[in-house]
Amino acid sequence: MSDDFQGEFELLPHGSHRSYHGIARAFEPARLTQARVLAELTKAELADAIHVSAAAVGQYEAGVTAPRPELLPVLARELKVPVEFFAAGRPLGRLDAANAHFRSLRSTRAKDRAKAATHAEQVWELTHALEKRIRLPEVKLPELPAGTLPADAAQILRQAWGVSPGPLAHLVATIEAHGIIVTLIPLTNKAITRVSAYSTDALGRPMMIVTPERAASIYRYRFTCAHELGHLLLHPNPLPGDRQQEREADEFAAELLTPRAQIEPLLPRTIRMAALENLSNSWGVSIESLIRRMGELRVVSDVSVRRAYQRLHGMAEFRRDEPIATYRGEVPSLLLEALGLAEEHGLTRGQLASELCWSTRHLSDVLSEVDSRPELHIVR
């Protein structure tokens, strides 16, 4: 057993072959796929590690045959899950990667998208487990007539959510207050980092998942969340990587964060960086985004926009990104608050992790909690 699990799983101690027989009989093939994808292993790699043929792993995942009971602890060790993880009987959310919007599809591999989709499945499982105990906010996304333009959709949403004119404060808290799950993926999850951000409502309650790369800058992060919100509202049938859907989500995000009618009178008539920086600090959008807005609204010419971008790139090393951690209303907290309330009424993290057949560390990861323990590096 790896260090991750020492002392955490005691339901089936070593040598509990009778229990392994039970799990082998109730083996859930989809759980093996889930664990393998999360471990970023191909079937062949897993087969190699547990000394069976790749075809055998394929058969386990297809449900043609179940692994022998004595193979279960080996599988569990390789995939860093408890043996009980493979047992059927727990709610299982299945999400095809084709049913999620991926922010940077062109730069992501199918393997990374599959891992991202699996991560979303686990967020759903955690949400489901918490919802059995805790009532989460009702999902409130307005119904849009077919063919609604992205900018109009943004106006409709601001109205439906009662956002007062001006900057949209505490975007993520506002999104969560309207029943949408937002999570950050821990930094160690490199495969999903490449995915950048994604959202889906294919599992019932809509959710969006943002990666650390997007969360490094508060402004970029807010735009990304607004972009994903645009997908959830505008694109019930995701076409992953579709340029038009991506453009529409960008248009929605720009109008949601900086409504044309409100930002236009405030934009300087020429590219003045100091004025733009002030606006950026008030409205919570990047200077790049404001320059783009100036171009869209034809406040300045295309040539001025291009030059402004060049100037910004030249100044990049002098600018510092503001991480989201210091912005209370932008750090996802709905699931943590729900867990906190459940804990007040007797649930422990150990119980919840055990119910989900996860380690408590994994539970923390899915809850987007930062691991505060120092990292040990061995230098040879």
Partner 1 sequence: MEDGRRWAIETFGTPGVYVRNLVPQLVREEHTASADAQDASGHRSKGVYGEFWRGILEKFEQFGKLPGATLIRPGQAPYSIPVINGVALFPWRYSRNRDADLATTRFVTSEARTAMFDLSDVVIQPELNLGLPRPELTAEEQELAEIVEAAMSDAQVTSGKLVVVAISSSVIGLHDMMWGDVTLNDDGSLDWGFRENLMGMKSAKPFAVPDEDKTFTSGEPPAKQIGLQDEDEAAGDDPSDV
User: Among 88, 266, 315, 325, which residue interacts with partner 1 (rule: CB under 8 A)?
Assistant: 266
Backbone angles phi, psi at 341, to 5 degrees: -65, -40
* Listed ranges 11-19, 37-45, 188-196, 262-270: which one lies at the site for partner 1 (CB under 8 A): 262-270
CB of 143 to partner 1, least distance (A): 15
At 230, list the tokens.
């645009």
Q: Any contact of residue 17 with partner 1 (CB under 8 A)?
A: no
Among residues 322, 231, 312, 234, the alpha carbon closest in space to that of 285 is found at: 322
Q: Name the residue nearer to partner 1 (CB basis): 48 or 264.
A: 264
Q: Which amino acid is at 285?
A: V
Min CB(72)–partner 1 separation in Å: 24
Place of tokens 């649930």: 347
302 binds partner 1 (CB under 8 A): yes
Closest CA to 42 of 101, 111, 105: 111
Interface with partner 1 includes 287 (CB under 8 A)?
Answer: no
- Rounded to whole angstroms, the Cα distance separating 71 from 316 reads 53
- The answer to whether 329 contacts partner 1 (rule: CB under 8 A) is yes
Give the sign of the dihedral formed by CA 54, CA 58, CA 59, CA 61: positive
Between CA 182 and CA 337, with CA 154 as vertex, the angle to 5 degrees is 20
DSSP state of 64: S
Q: How far is the CB of 3 from partner 1 (least distance, A)?
A: 28
CA gap 112, 97 in Å, rounded = 10
Task: Tell me the closest approach of the beta carbon of residue 298 to partner 1, in angstroms.
Answer: 5
Single residue of 283, 290, 356, 365 touching partner 1 by CB under 8 A:
283
Choose the stretch contacting partner 1; rule: CB under 8 A; options: 45-53, 69-77, 113-121, 126-134: 126-134
The Cα 131–Cα 125 span in angstroms is 10
Tokens representing 292?
């783009």
Which token pair is 190? 């490199």
Nearer to partner 1, 42 or 282 (CB): 282
Is residue 49 within 8 A of residue 16, CB to CB? The reply is no
User: Residue 48 to residues 54, 57, 74, 196, 343: CA-CA distances in angstroms?
Assistant: 8, 10, 12, 31, 42
Binding-site size for partner 1 (CB under 8 A) equals 62
Question: Shortest Cβ distance from residue 229 to partner 1 (Å)?
Answer: 15
Tell whether residue 174 is a contact of partner 1 (CB under 8 A): yes
DSSP 3-state of 312: helix
Q: Which residue has the tokens 């990304």?
A: 224
- Restricting to residues 214-243, name those near partner 1 by CB under 8 A: 222, 243
Output the smallest distance, CB 218 to partner 1, in A: 9
Shortest separation between residue 112's beta carbon and partner 1, angstroms: 22
Cβ 272 to partner 1 shortest distance, Å: 18
- The footprint of partner 1 on residues 333-352 (CB under 8 A) is 333-334, 337-338, 341-342, 345-347, 351
Which parts of 127-166 interact with partner 1 (CB under 8 A)? 131-138, 147-149, 151-152, 155, 164-166
Q: Does 247 bind partner 1 (CB under 8 A)?
A: yes
Contact call for residues 295 and 288 (beta carbons, < 8 A)? no
DSSP 102: E
The residue ranges that bind partner 1 (CB under 8 A) are 131-138, 147-149, 151-152, 155, 164-171, 173-174, 176-177, 222, 243-244, 247, 251, 259-262, 264-266, 281-284, 295-298, 302, 306, 327-329, 333-334, 337-338, 341-342, 345-347, 351, 355
